[in-house]
Structure 1
């Protein structure tokens, strides 16, 4: 089981199962939202995401949830294609989660200055 939190610690959560998928999203929305070249998400069934504290601090939109105290991005969900799944930002997971595979998605908007690994 893995747990995580936002920057200020007000929001905490745990994953009741291992993530099924881990992906680096290179879409423009993630780049702008996180001010980064890409964002890494781990995906679990929505029923396997349990908030332990601070759920009332989560500001929700159709797609993203973040802590309204520190503005840490926590959850991406609401996909019409995968309505029963939630994706958690890997950077918010506090325990040692080492995914076996990480896939890159939305490479059509990958920044030109990012080096391939």
Structure 2
């Protein structure tokens, strides 16, 4: 089990299952939602993701049709995203985790949309100009 929280600690959550492939997304929506060059995300099974405090502080925003981004309404921290047509899945923002999830990034995605001022490191990770193959988005590990 690994815990996570928003900046103000009003929202706290736990992940009790495996974290799927960690990706660094450079799309314009992730950049704007996080205020950074990229967002580091990983899928987890929805039943392995539990809000333990502050459910009433979570606000969701539909950033594009069928994709909801959840954030703390008090401090603005991005927490996860979800798709109503994929209720079994949450994409957790790894920057909100309190400890080491044990998983490491495997790819940079949407690098065709990266910020012009950003430079990609020579880190050996796979690179995709746009969306990667499905497992990168939708394959969390088995629930515990």
Would the TM-score normalized by the shorter structure come out above 0.5? yes
Displacement after TM superposition at 1:98 (Å): 3.4
Partner residue of 2:110? 106
Q: Which runs of 5+ in 2 are unaligned?
A: 63-67, 122-144
Return the alpha-carbon distance in structure 2 between the equivalents of residues 107 and 93 of structure 1.
24
Q: Which runs of 5+ in 1 are unaligned?
A: none
Contact 1:14 1:52 in 2 (8 A): yes
Displacement after TM superposition at 1:83 (Å): 4.0
Using the size of structure 1 for normalisation, the TM-score is 0.89
Q: Indicate the structure (1 or 2) with the bigger Cα radius of gyration.
A: 2
Return the alpha-carbon distance in structure 2 between the equivalents of residues 100 and 56 of structure 1.
31
- After superposition, the Cα gap between the structure-2 partners of 1:3 and 1:47, relative to the gap in structure 1 and judged at 3 Å, is same
SS at 1:61's partner residue?
A: strand
Return the alpha-carbon distance in structure 2 between the equivalents of residues 94 and 111 of structure 1.
28
Partner residue of 1:10? 10
Return the alpha-carbon distance in structure 2 between the equivalents of residues 116 and 74 of structure 1.
24
Contact 2:42 2:91 in 1 (8 A): yes
How many residue pairs were aligned?
A: 116
Displacement after TM superposition at 1:79 (Å): 6.3
